[in-house]
Every structure is written in C-alpha cells, then in structure tokens.
A and B are shown apart, each in its own frame.
Chain A
C-alpha cells in the first residue's frame, strides 16, 4: 500500500523533473528561502503530488523544489509535516520515502529548536549528533515492508559521522561557531513546561523541537545518509524560561537565515 503510494508520488514528480536528485533537503522554519537559490528549479506544490499531505503551519510554504544547488542535483522540501498538525507519523515521513524513491542518497534535515543548555545562545547553529525520540510513538510501527528497510533498524549512528565532519569543515571555512548536541524530539504543539524542560535536559537532550526525529528514523530505515542541523531560535533552559511566542521564534530564525543558508550551501557543495 505504502509502496504503491510512494511509487505514484515518485512517478508524478519524475513526470515534471526527470533527473535523479542526490541530496534531499528538509527546510525547516525560516530556512525555506534556501530553495530560492536552487537553479533551473522545478517547483511542485505538495497538493499536486499524489498522496502528499498538505502543510498547515505559517512560515511553511508546502512545495517540493527540484533543481541544481552548488553543482548538486537536489530535491528540497519547502515546508514539512508535523505530528502536532494531526498527521500520522507515516504521513509525516512520507516525503522521505518519496525522496529515497527518487534516488536521493543523502538527507539534510534542518529545523528550529529551543536550546536547553545555558551555553547556547539564540541564533546558534548546531549539528545534531544524536536524538532522543520523545514523541511517544514511532513511524515504523506496523507491518514492515522489507523492500523499504529492515524490521529492526539500527540507530547507533543515525546521523552520519562523515557528514557531521563536513559540516564542521564548512563552518570553519565560513568562520561559523557551530555547536553540536543531542536533539530531543517531542510531539508538541505546546512548548514544554519548566519541569519538562529540566527533565529532558537531565536525560541528555541539549535542544528540543517538534520535528526531525520521525524523518530521521525513516531515513535511517531507508538507508539514507543523514545530516541534521538545528537553528536555536530561543532559549529553553527550564530554570530561566520566559514565555515565548511563535513570532519571536520566527524573528530569530529570520536573523540567522543568511548564515544558515550559506552553511547549508557550503555543505552541499562539499558532499
């Protein structure tokens, strides 16, 4: 069933853009503009792609952009699907299956998140070294299709060490102070309470966000090599938390955007 849906989505996309992308990209809050730098772009709204859900969040455009970026053929998601919007985890991760089917070998995932370590600052960029799935579910629950991946995928190196190295090289070239840390993925949509933030930090997460983890689990299942980069848009230190609005998050994301875009392009160039 899922395999058929993936195939239909793939065929539709290939009817609009025939080249196989090497790199799949998921552009999170505020980073959607990176897709504007894609050359010879073919833009496909999600609603036109068979079986794609439709994004509902402000600041997430909801279209697939295929073309050339820094000499690589890429397929970029401008806007993603979140569990908190009410989609199933299978719907949230459907585009990852499609990108794999299109031929992508790499998946670059970006997001906006809250920094739980007091050493972080709003506007910091962070390479995701590992994650904690705190969503309470898993996109692979259900019957396994062994053509897509193994029943019990190994997650011991979900974030590719070579790609992490390339990210730090790119940061050095661009003189960006790139952080590293563990991403805690929650369901949302509410931000965490103080007590929950302290709990999540105590169990080893450095930042907290509402995306990425399901996509990375499916990417790992599918055998994609994953890079994750977070933009810390607000501080989420339980002991010092002040109320936060989505507008403030978007504001920091907007400020950090140029440097985030140049970092991602530099990494794509060297992949």
Chain B
C-alpha cells in the first residue's frame, strides 16, 4: 500500500474520533510526554489503534496521539515517537508526521533529549535547534516521490523556522530560562557515541547529538510545515566528562528540567496562538 493510501486510512480513523482540525503538531520526546496531560478536552488515540501506525517499544515513551486544546490552540501531540534504532524504516518513523500533515497541521514543534557536544553547554540546558546534520546514512524521502505530498528535492536551507525560533527565544527570555541555540546531529544509535565520534561531531559543526528528530523534520519540511525544534541537553556527550553515560542519567536530567521545558513550550504555544489570532 502506498504511503498516501496508508495516510488516508489513518486520517479517516482519526477524523472519525475528533471534531476539530489540529493546526499544530507536537512531537514529545523523552521526559516531555507529560505536556500532553495538560491538553484540554483531550481525545486520546493509542498508536496501536490507528491504521498504519507502528508501535513504540522504548521505556518512557507512551505511544499515543492526544488531540485537543493547549494554550488556545488545537494541537495533535505525539506522546512517544518512533526511532530508527528500534528497527523501523525511516518511512515508518515519519509516518505520524505525514498523518498530522494530512489532518491539517501547519506547524510542527519537535522536542528531544540530546547529548551536548558544545563545550559551552551544561546538562539541563534547553537548546533551540537552528539547523541539523543528518548523519543517519539514510533519508525518509528515498523512493518514489509523491508530488502531492511535496517536492522531489525539498529545500533544507531553512528547515527550522526563524520566526518560530524567535518566538521560543523571546518566551525563554520572558520566563528567565537559559536557552542555547545550535545544530543537532542525528546518529542512528542505539549505542551512545564514542569520545572519538563526539570529537568528530564537533569538527563537523554539531552542538548536540541525538537519535531522533531529523527524519521527522525532513518529512515535515517536505510536507510544507513550519518547524520549531527544542532539545533538552540531558547530558554532556561521551568523553567530555570523566564518567560513563547511562539512559538513567538522561531520564534523570530530563525530569529535573521538565518543569522549565514545559513552561517554555506552553509560553511558546501561547505566543504563537497570539500571532495566529
């Protein structure tokens, strides 16, 4: 079945369960899933119930789409995402983005937990993604292009909206939250990087490394969506501190900064809603 056909089936199922059109999509990464709990009049659809959706396998990733109102906007929030390292194809990883796009979502807010590569970063910092480096060795758009979904050769010169980044920056300032800007590099994982790979990432221009986001953003841009990406720097990458990395440390830091991250996301949404009005 073509992606378009699969998307159509997922959209039909979702539309039979919701009564409004979401304008903003949220991809909630490690530790930020709770943002979906604040959605008013939520309609919760489990991934396993949506035709064509893969099912998430990672601890800390719930696996459901939550629709409703958040800070004055109609949102579709992914609580839990799909990762390449889980064994999904990049087409599967990005399928929910296609579905959100087809539902009418015009902008996508993507969050993640990432390792800091930039020496100026500290664990717990939040980083607005200015740009990315696709280091996955793969691309979700490989294959026959469906011109109805987007162009054969999508432009990536401004994948991350400067306007949305500015709004997030101002929101952080108003909340007195320290914010960084930088380039996010996506590696396949699931092994964390070696110190040599972290030095390489720095040489190549990355400020943070992670295992998600990039395929989703490529597909969002292909579909003509405006993108804002925010990383939680949950740890400094391998070799930067004299200690091993653990997933527990990542979850620990993300839960510590969760409050700030939530505040920032909500304030950003509020400001975007104000601009929309």
Contacts and interface: CB of A to CB of B under 8 A. Distances in A.
B191 interface: yes
Given A151-B190, A153-B191, A203-B204, A141 B84 contact: yes
B147 interface: no
Nearest to B244: A154
Q: Taking chain A's interface residues, is the majority helix, strand, or loop, or is none over half, making it mixed?
A: loop
Contact of A142 (B87, B137, B195, B244): B87
Given A141-B84, A142-B87, A155 B200 contact: no
Contact of B192 (A129, A153, A205): A153
Contacts of A203: 199-200, 203-204
Nearest to A129: B196
A134 to B, nearest CB: 9
A154 B197 contact: no
Contact of B86 (A143, A150, A158, A202): A143
A137 B203 contact: no
B188 interface: yes
B137 A154 contact: no
Q: Taking chain B's interface residues, is the majority helix, strand, or loop, or is none over half, making it mixed?
A: loop
Contacts of B204: 203
A141 B87 contact: yes
Q: How large is the interface on B (under 10, 10 to 19, 20 to 34, 35 or more residues)?
A: 20 to 34
A136 interface: yes
A153 B203 contact: no
Contacts of B197: 132-133, 155
A217 B59 CA distance: 22
Interface string A143-159: 11000001111111110
Given A138-B85, A143-B57, A203-B200, A156 B195 contact: yes
Nearest to A159: B194
A92 B184 CA distance: 30
Contacts of B164: none
B199 A204 contact: yes
B196 A132 contact: yes
Given A150-B247, A156-B244, A204-B200, A130 B191 contact: no
A131 interface: yes
B190 A156 contact: no
A131 B59 CA distance: 28
B193 interface: yes
B239 interface: yes
A129 B196 CA distance: 9
A210 to B, nearest CB: 16
A261 interface: no
A154 B246 contact: yes
A151 B59 CA distance: 10
A130 B196 contact: yes
Given A143-B57, A203-B203, A151 B247 contact: yes
Interface of B: 57-59, 84-87, 137-138, 188-197, 199-200, 203-204, 238-239, 243-247, 250
Given A152-B245, A155-B194, A156-B245, 20 more contacts: A129-B196, A130-B195, A131-B196, A132-B194, A133-B197, A136-B137, A140-B191, A141-B84, A141-B190, A142-B87, A153-B192, A154-B245, A154-B246, A155-B191, A155-B192, A156-B192, A156-B239, A158-B194, A182-B196, A203-B203
7 contacts: A133-B197, A153-B190, A156-B238, A156-B244, A202-B203, A204-B203, A217-B191
